[in-house]
Structure 1
Amino acid sequence: MPTVKPKPAKPKAAKAKSRRRTGRKLFQHDRALGVRFVAGADEAGRGCLAGPLVAAGVLFDLERLGPREVRALSVLNDSKQHTPEAREALYPVVLRIATRVAVISRGPRGIDSRGLHRTNIAALRDALVRVAAGHDDVLCLSDGFAVGDLGGLEGRAIVDGDATSAAIAAASIIAKVTRDRFMHRADDRHPGWEFATHVGYSTPEHRLAIQRQGVSPLHRLSFQSAAYQQLAL
């Protein structure tokens, strides 16, 4: 059999340069939409066992974004591609450069009563309406899911939107940082579940904590999980 030579790995400098260009590519996508204002919405905490679902909306005025602003957000990307420290660093930059930012939080009991998907869609829709209302020549983008009627605003769902659109990626940063900060504070109020470590996601440590001491007021009782099978809820 012929020998297949492995592809040479990219030098570290090339990888770093590629990461610096991420934000530029995302803004190129949004500019290509042909509108002045682009609003993006994304959520954090949809798949968690505990804690709120947090949706954020970010509006960019593309006519007012110059090279300096784009350079400041050159590493912008899906929040999952960043370390916690990098997300914290991007958070105030997004707040400074965005025309408008909105955060919508939905708690565990609301998720239990209305259902996760309905709660998620409504939160994304509310975030987009808050940042885009009152603006002409605006397009509202949501990550993955169409959000329904936006009160006359034009909407579009983008698959993998947080890795495609600058507005959605910025919203993912705002939503993730906001929610993580809340869960870190919740760790002090509800000791024993280690919320600061897993921020509510279904990790082995989190499931063990539930088996050890039951559920907290932050847990979603309607969420189907093996962690709840031994518990009388």
Structure 2
Amino acid sequence: MNSGILPAATAGFGTGLSLIVAIGAQNAFVLRQGARRQAVLAVVGVCAVSDAVLIALGVAGLGAVVDAWPAALTALGLAGGGFLICYGLLAARRGLRPAAGQALTTKGAPAGSVRTAVLTCLAMTWLNPHVYLDTVLLLGSVAADRGSLRWVFGFGAMLASLVWFAGLGYGARLLSGVLSRPVAWRVLDTLVAVTMLAMGAMLLARTL
């Protein structure tokens, strides 16, 4: 059994990474916070811990419960879609009418920004029904095929989440030189707006 631990963990890492890396609302938000160096540790921690909890629930077999309760996914779809559209509209406004000091990336974080960032990140994570479909149902079912090594597989997926979000959040500061120019922030906010609005619209379309 010990000889299968590393392959199971590696498989979990690869599977988890393939589900997380796709461009989405959560990744766009982490990138923006990382580039501005605002509440990065808190945001990365919320994303990684949330994923770890969801992966653990999936490995534990909660996927069957989620699958049997479609009304919950419908409610999450409506709430999540509305939230993403609102956030997308705010990002679009920033792109069209950037505020003074928009290009600042290292200093000047407003009071309460950590709390706002954490709440926003929690909403983007837990109000997204695709998180439950991908992380709980899909990852949980793949982990179940590993039998007694399913928790090793799950640990690999959790590690992938931590590595990805830490790399995205703290690696974004490498773009600080480019993002020191206001036009770069207008482009980034426009891309974030398009991503959020598109995902919000798709969530509502699939839910209704």
The TM-score normalised by the length of structure 1 is: 0.23
Structure having the higher strand fraction is 1
TM-score by length of 2: 0.25
Q: Higher relative contact order by CA 8 Å / sep ≥ 6: 1 or 2? A: 2
Greater gyration radius: 1
| Greater helix proportion | 2
